[in-house]
Amino acid sequence: MKNVKLLRAGAIFSMLIFFYPDSLAQNVTLEYIFQDTNIINPRPALKFINSKFNKIYYYADDDYDGKLSLFDHNYLTGETYKYSDTGETASEFVILPEGNALSIIKGDLYISKDFVNTRAFSKDLQITNSDKYEYSPEVIDNAVIYRHSGNYYITRFFLNDINDTPKVSNELQLTSDESDSVSYQLLAIKKPELDFDELSKTFLRILFARYDNSSKQELIFPDYMTEFVKGERKKRGISKVKLFEYELRVKGTDSIYKFINEIKYPDSIRYCTVYADYSPRTKYIILDAESLDRHNRKLYYYNTWDKTINEIYSESDSAWYERHGNTTSFINDSVIIFESEVSGYNNLYSIKADGTGFQKIAGDNYTTLESVIDRKTGKIYFSANREKPYEYFIYETDFDGIILKQITSESGDVEDLRISAEGSYLFYSQSFINKPNELRILSLQDYSSRQITNAVSPEFSQVDWNIPELITFPNEEDGQLVYAFLYKPKDYNPKKKYPLICFAHGAGYLQNVTYGFSPYRDNFMVNTFLTGEGFVILDIDFRGSRGYGKEFRNKTYRNLGYWEVSDYISGINYLSSQGITNSEKIGIYGGSYGGFITLMALFRHPEIFKCGVALRAVSNWKNYFYSNWWYTLARLGDYNKDEIKQYYDISSPITYAENLQGQLLMTHGMLDDNVFFQDMVQLTQKLIDNKKDFEVMFYPKENHSFYRQTSWLDQYKRIWKFFEKNLKNE
């Protein structure tokens, strides 16, 4: 395979910046932002860590063409190797600890020997040979679990001495009824210790969730771009779930067979199993389960030997739980670590298997986003906004929570924490406000760090993007401190009052006011364009946003849209008191949940918001209950109960549509299977019935998130012209 040297892009970027004038940001256009190839190219993603050979494998786009290439990087020597995209390659692969690779080539599974050195997807041992296409492989020791036609299968491979012929065991089908009505999810998998299951000959344990989808409602999503209108049918609703624990054993030398045991929770509540983990010796399983409305959460301890199950921990919330990136897992055979918000913020706790010894390991009045555990050294590494809510660093602690040390100092956000097998290095992704994420490595001996990748496209890096000013202000109704970003024109004149555009982020529970790169990257870039056109932009982490604790979120329970808009009004009044904005020229826009907030702002406070653009907006939460029950059941309750319907009405913009006085533009993808297109259709009819003036734009080929740059460009040109017309003209 051809060795393609990875160029160090930093010097090239510096030259490009040198030859571009500082004023480029003032002239950036929407056509430039939404050019054919995304100027924010796919970001590097870590795939594997192989500690034996001191290598990581990752994907990155160093050609800036929107296509990811495979790289390996020796984190001791610094050598980086780019794999050629020519020749026969694997559609999926797994790097094995000893340096081999399990590869899927043209739908079949192969072992590529000594892959870490040869860097070739060879076919040294063929594991499967069928007319089915294998996918989603997982390797535990010499066992391979994979899927085809929806079901799970397992086989084992044997790579003996060089003079012996490699061989493969029988293929065992693990699941057999995958269909439109039945599906499976692998929740946990573990190889027992050598001396643990010697008598039973169990070599692997797997926990599956089986979803019976037969009770789900079938919904139709029309596609108008075909010769005749087609209606794609998708099932939505609540599944009936069962848990099955598989004991995989061997007979003779290579024959596999299975024993299946159903795990039943001891009460009648319908649970969602969020996390599951085997103890190191696989005698126990910890099951982290929550009720479907996310008001109640329990930890169960299941004994794989005697098939008993016991509750060891429970908590409840008057509103709902939000999960973060900290898994529930064993520290050892008798102690479990998990995240909880019982203190008011998401922190780390431990508990013994008998339900005693509950204690906090890490946390206080801050959010712990994700963590990794090193059982060998007894350390936990986690990311948190400990000092300031808008800035995340990595911290180190021990299993007793006695020590606490900040071990990164680069300003911004960190995510995707991974630790090497020997516990010497931590890998993570780092970003800043105007710098998309890159991979970094941190030595856990001296805590030194360095950046591994440098793959930001020149089209993005050569622009002097507008960096916002961090501001805070109290909500005028309850005094809650609110964090926000304020984007001002580069030639900002303090003697001038500017038209204000409020941007509302989506998802509800999402944090956008951080020093990391925004999850709304398009809006971040568009802010440079809009401020160049003479607007001021206010971007708020409104009530319900992540990173500020449970109370900050739960305030919105069964009253969606009220406190979010209240936070915006307080922000507008604050900017007006500072002489920054013209209170008669206030607009708002956002997508999805941000579109919902836009509608609530226009319909419930027309005296403040003169215009707004609602992108793919939720206008009727009843529709979203059928689309995404998990989201609405937690925030509003079960719509099928008559006493709950009032909360859906209170929180739905369509209830207040008759109050529209300002100007409204709505956009929506017609193929949207998240927030249905019917939301915009139904609200359109309600506005017509109430004789309101408004504008609509639909996109026949787009889903919830747009895929075509032409659609993005068209939508944002309309947004810009809409605000030009309604906020600048007298």
Distance of CA 49 to the CA centre of its chain: 21
Short-list 349, 247, 356, 340, CA closest to 301: 356
Say yes or no to pLDDT of 498 above 70: yes
pLDDT at 223: 82
132 compared with 389, residue with greater pLDDT: 389
CA distance 365 to 343: 8
- Encode pLDDT of 598-641 as tens digits: 999 999 999 999 999 999 999 999 999 988 999 999 999 999 99
- Encode pLDDT of 615-625 as tens digits: 999 999 999 99
Q: Mean pLDDT over residues 233-251, rounded?
A: 89
Q: Which residues contact 152 (CB under 8 A, 6 or more apart)?
A: 145, 146, 173, 174, 175, 184, 186, 208
Say yes or no to pLDDT of 37 above 90: no
- Encode pLDDT of 507-545 as tens digits: 989 999 999 999 999 999 999 999 999 999 999 999 999
pLDDT at 253: 65
Q: Mean pLDDT over residues 90-107, rounded?
A: 94
Are the C-beta atoms of residues 8 and 450 closer than 8 Å to each other?
no
Residue with tokens 């643990």: 196
- Encode pLDDT of 261-289 as tens digits: 999 999 888 899 999 999 998 999 999 99
Q: Which CATH architecture has domain 466-728?
A: 3-Layer(aba) Sandwich (3.40)
With a pLDDT cut of 70, the percent of the chain lying above it is 94
Q: Mean pLDDT over residues 678-700, rounded?
A: 97
pLDDT at 24: 46
Locate the domains of the chain by residue range.
466-728
In three-state secondary structure terms, 27 is helix
pLDDT at 9: 33
Q: For helices 562-577 and 593-604, give the axis angle rounded to 10 degrees.
A: 70
Q: Mean pLDDT over residues 421-430, rounded?
A: 96
Q: Strands (DSSP E) along 519-640, which ranges?
A: 536-540, 581-591, 611-615
Q: Mean pLDDT over residues 149-154, rounded?
A: 93
Say yes or no to pLDDT of 2 above 60: no
In the sheet that 101-105 helps form, which strands lie side by side, from edge to edge?
Answer: 92-95, 101-105, 108-112, 125-126
Q: Which residues contact 346 (CB under 8 A, 6 or more apart)?
A: 322, 324, 326, 339, 340, 363, 367, 368, 369, 550
Assigned token pair, 695: 């504008």
Q: Which residues contact 711 (CB under 8 A, 6 or more apart)?
A: 669, 699, 701, 702
CA distance 34 to 96: 41
In three-state secondary structure terms, 261 is strand
Are the C-beta atoms of residues 74 and 101 closer than 8 Å to each other?
no
CA distance 360 to 337: 10
- Encode pLDDT of 631-667 as tens digits: 999 999 999 999 999 999 999 999 999 999 999 999 9
For residue 183, count other CB atoms closer than 10 A to its CB: 17
pLDDT at 97: 93
Short-list 512, 520, 565, 675, CA closest to 555: 565
Residues in the chain: 730
pLDDT at 220: 82
Q: Computed from CA positions of residues 75, 76, 79, 85, in that sequence, does the dihedral angle turn out positive or negative?
A: negative
9 compared with 44, residue with greater pLDDT: 44
Residue 729: pLDDT band with limits 50, 70, 90: confident
Q: Computed from CA positions of residues 509, 511, 512, 518, in that sequence, does the dihedral angle turn out positive or negative?
A: negative
Q: How far is CA 635 from CA 559, 563, 615, 629, 630, in A?
A: 8, 14, 22, 10, 9
Say yes or no to pLDDT of 21 above 70: no
pLDDT at 214: 84
Are the C-beta atoms of residues 394 and 407 closer than 8 Å to each other?
yes
CA distance 364 to 373: 19
Say yes or no to pLDDT of 163 above 60: no
Q: What share of the chain is helix, strand, coil (3-state, %, to 5)?
A: 20, 40, 45
Question: 368-374 and 359-362: which strand pairing?
Answer: unpaired
pLDDT at 162: 55
Residue 8: pLDDT band with limits 50, 70, 90: very low
Q: Mean pLDDT over residues 406-431, rounded?
A: 96
DSSP for 135-172, please give it: EEEEEETTEEEEEETTEEEEEEEE---TTSPPEE---E
Residue 233: pLDDT band with limits 50, 70, 90: confident
pLDDT at 218: 80
- Encode pLDDT of 540-559 as tens digits: 999 999 999 999 999 999 99
pLDDT at 562: 98
Q: Strands (DSSP E) along 304-358, which ranges?
A: 309-316, 329-332, 335-340, 347-352
Phi, then psi, of 287 in degrees rounded to 5: -115, 120
DSSP for 81-132, please give it: EE--SSS---SEEEE-TTS-EEEEETTEEEEETTHHHH-----SEE---SSS
Say yes or no to pLDDT of 719 above 60: yes
Are the C-beta atoms of residues 578 and 492 closer than 8 Å to each other?
no
Are the C-beta atoms of residues 113 and 98 closer than 8 Å to each other?
no
Q: Mean pLDDT over residues 294-305, rounded?
A: 95
Average pLDDT of the chain?
Answer: 91
Are the C-beta atoms of residues 145 and 152 closer than 8 Å to each other?
yes
Please give the helix or strand (H or E) that residue 513 lies within, else none: none
pLDDT at 478: 96
Assigned token pair, 448: 């030194």
Which amino acid, 560? Answer: L
Are the C-beta atoms of residues 314 and 296 closer than 8 Å to each other?
yes
In three-state secondary structure terms, 12 is helix
CA distance 432 to 168: 49
Q: How far is CA 308 from CA 203, 261, 284, 302, 428, in A?
A: 21, 11, 10, 6, 39
Short-list 602, 464, 482, CA closest to 539: 482
Residue 173: pLDDT band with limits 50, 70, 90: very high
Residue 217: pLDDT band with limits 50, 70, 90: confident
Indicate yes or no: pTM above 0.75.
yes
Assigned token pair, 145: 């679990």
Residue 130: pLDDT band with limits 50, 70, 90: confident
CA distance 272 to 293: 10
Short-list 100, 132, 103, CA closest to 113: 100
CA distance 134 to 143: 15
CA distance 439 to 414: 10
In this structure, what is the dihedral angle of CA atoms 313, 314, 320, 326, given to the nearest 10 degrees?
Answer: 0
